[in-house]
Amino acid sequence: MSNLKLTTEWDKTFPKSDKVNHRKITFHNRYGIELAADMYTPKDINDKMPAIAVSGPFGAVKEQASGLYAQTMAENGFITIAFDPSYTGESGGSPRYMASPDINTEDFQAAVDFLSTQDNIDPEKIGIIGICGFGGMALNAAALDTRIKATVTSTMYDMSRINANGYFDEQDSEENRYQNKLALNKQRTLDYKKGTYKRAGGVVDPLPEDAPFFVKDYHDYYKTSRGYHPRSVNSTDGWNVIGTMSFINQPILQYSNEIRSAVLMIHGDKAHSYYFSKDAYKNMINESKYTDNKEFLAVPNAVHTDLYDGGKNHVIPFDKMIEFFNKYL
């Protein structure tokens, strides 16, 4: 019996499809945190089906990009779930608005636990999709979980790298990391005294005229009718200031070149974050024995959030993703 309060009305940032069935489900991870998800099922299920778990972007909820991906993949013959990570959205976990390289990787594995035990799903045909920061988590999960047979990352962020080095690695020095840690640990003491966690603030609003392009890009998605959702930390008051600090010295993707299962990495070539996928792909195939089923797809002229909802030109390469999952699941 779930203790979570789940909305019953359709409150997504994308229209509901009449080609699939939709319902809310819950499952738990190995830390006992109960996770909330939307399950999308093709109208005609025959025998045991392939399945895909979807999450991301980092600071988003399942009513945004991950739900759109899940619903679209369900329209094309997969049972899918889009889930809220621990401590966010409708999922459990207290205190709220915390993130962890370990727990967020575990959230994907817990989704695989759930999918592997459903009567209408083939446990040998399970894939995952991670968007933005959960692209990094998905790749990390693929390196750990042999039940995952195919992984797609879309507009991927490496959350360890950005927390340790800043945007574009501009803060990549021992001194910068030290100053960052000083500030975060000072905040920890204050939080502990007050008994509450200070929030970092979501995407800046109103938008300063001199904001860098990537900030404008995020604002255009999270702070407008295009992608705003009241449960998304990026649309509202952000993560806790100290909510992501463990990423600074806990690198993910350590053994990505040992991933034996199939991986497709997708990124817009005009995205500020393009370097994350480019470098992660290079590291994944470096000295790897398992490169035949690895692929990188650059989407021409697409910026970071274009792969959240397609942008103005509907650029998410769903056809390519469907072909990839059909081949490897």
Q: Sorting pLDDT into bands at 50, 70 and 90, what band is 329?
A: very high
Distance between CA atoms of residues 130 and 285, nearest Å: 19
pLDDT given for residue 46 in this prediction: 81
Write phi, then psi, for 56 (nearest 5 degrees): 110, 175
223: left (phi over 0), alpha (psi -120 to 50) or beta: alpha
pLDDT given for residue 2 in this prediction: 85
Q: Which of 153, 154, 150 is nearest to 50 (CA)?
A: 150
Q: Which residue has the tokens 């993910």?
A: 252
Whole-structure pTM value? 0.98
Q: Which residues of 270-306 are buried (b: 16+ CB within 10 A; e: fewer)?
A: bbbbbebbbebbebbbeeeeeeebbbbbbbeebbbbb
Q: Sorting pLDDT into bands at 50, 70 and 90, what band is 64?
A: very high
